[in-house]
Structures are given as structure tokens and as C-alpha cells.
Amino acid sequence: KQEVTQIPAALSVPEGENLVLNCSFTDSAIYNLQWFRQDPGKGLTSLLLIQSSQREQTSGRLNASLDKSSGRSTLYIAASQPGDSATYLCAVANQAGTALIFGKGTTLSVSS
């Protein structure tokens, strides 16, 4: 059974710092991997999608990498801002692409 783990569970940084969020998964047979952001009491906002054949994706200050063989992904956030404060969720799609399996998330707080 696929399990997704995100470390750390919570992270506090001062504004302007670069940071890395980690995600690991137990079964490398994935269809793709998606990173989401969730603000309190809100739904999920898709940040980046990495196909299983890709190594990384970039969007603005965000860069996500995927190492399928080792079961790891990282989300790199450059020059963090208070508006980046949210919970970041990593999710892997099963091999059929029919379901996402989520980690519990990393709650990020960026102070000004």
C-alpha cells in the first residue's frame, strides 16, 4: 500500500529565506506527483505537476524535483514571503492515474 510522508510537519522561517519541503513515498510505481497549497479552511490549489518520466518542474519561485527510484520529491521555495504561509501537500497518483495519495502536509509560516 502506497504511503506518503512529508517532513517536516511544520516549519517557521523569516521572510526572504530559501527553503525545501520534503516528500517521500514507498512505492515507485506512480503515474505522477502533484504539489498543492492549502490555506486554512480552504480547498487545495495546484502548484506543480511532475509526470513520472520527468525530473523537475518550475513555476516562478517554486521548483519541484522527482527522484522516482528513491521515492523522493522536494519542493524548493525561493525568497520566501509572508504570503507563502500555508500548508503544502504532496500527492502521488497511483499507477492507473485514478487516485491521489496524499501526505499529511507541511505547515509553513513565514514571518516578516
Partner 1 sequence: GAGVSQTPSNKVTEKGKYVELRCDPISGHTALYWYRQSLGQGPEFLIYFQGTGAADDSGLPNDRFFAVRPEGSVSTLKIQRTERGDSAVYLCASSWTGGNEQFFGPGTRLTVL
Which C-beta is closer to partner 1: that of 42 or that of 55? Answer: 42
Q: Which is nearer to partner 1, 74 or 107 (CB)?
A: 107
Nearer to partner 1, 18 or 109 (CB): 109
CB of 72 to partner 1, least distance (A): 17
Task: Catalog residues that contact partner 1 under the rule CB under 8 A.
Answer: 4, 31-32, 34, 36, 42-46, 49, 89, 91, 93, 96-105
Environment class of 56 (CB within 10 Å of its CB; exposed 0-12, middle 13-18, buried 19+): middle
Q: Which residues pair with 10 in a beta bridge?
A: 107
Strand order in the sheet with 56-59: 4-7, 19-25, 72-77, 62-67, 56-59
Q: How far is the CB of 16 from partner 1 (least distance, A)?
A: 29
| Count of Cβ atoms closer than 10 Å to residue 23 Cβ | 26
